[in-house]
Structure 1
Amino acid sequence: MTMQSSHSQEENWQNVNREHPQMEDSTPVENDNNNRDERKTGKALRGFAAMDMEKQRAIASMGGRAAHQQGVAHEFSSEEARAAGRKGGEAVSQNREHMAAIGKKGGEAAHGRRRQRQQETQQR
């Protein structure tokens, strides 16, 4: 890491803290809007999870911008997405019996739970 990039990172953090001064310390904050507080999870939030959602978004946004500037961010073109979908479809169609068996087991499990619940309610 060069001094210049280190300096710009420091400026970015200062900008985040300037925009969100209430979150300069990284103490956990109870946030009923996102169901992310210690009472509901039974664990104290730490690090990124303890931050205000707006500060998290600002930091994530900086990461995305940095990736694009470095040229390492990737977005699928429509052709790449089409090729990926085609590849997935080929994998499924190569062994349809296997995929059908997996689906059957899932259905049996779901129906089995339903039957079990019905029996439990009838016994009460």
Structure 2
Amino acid sequence: MSTVEAGRKGGSVVRDKYGGEYYRQIGKKGGTALKEKRGSEYYRQIAQKGGQANVTKYGPAHFSEMGKKGGNATKARQDPDFYSRIGKLGGAARRRKKAEAQE
């Protein structure tokens, strides 16, 4: 039995014994410990590295295509008035921020 197979078998035994929720709990616990140890800036840095790696791997056109797919999926899922509503919300937030800055 290879190391990979042994690891998979051990993981399956743990999943069967404790359930899938167990993995969510230990993942959250580990994430919280890491955040306390390294700070939230660490997550920003690794996200930025991951984003740069994706740009290098796929190119900028990939992200444009993904944005269009996401926009089309949202358009299909939402009512026709959706973009009008969120546009007004964004405009209101901008006006509010501008007014606060002038005070």
Same fold (TM over 0.5): no
Higher relative contact order (CA 8 A, sep 6+): 1
TM-score by length of 1: 0.27
Q: Which has the higher helix share?
A: 2
TM-score by length of 2: 0.31
Q: Which structure's CA Rg is the greater one?
A: 1
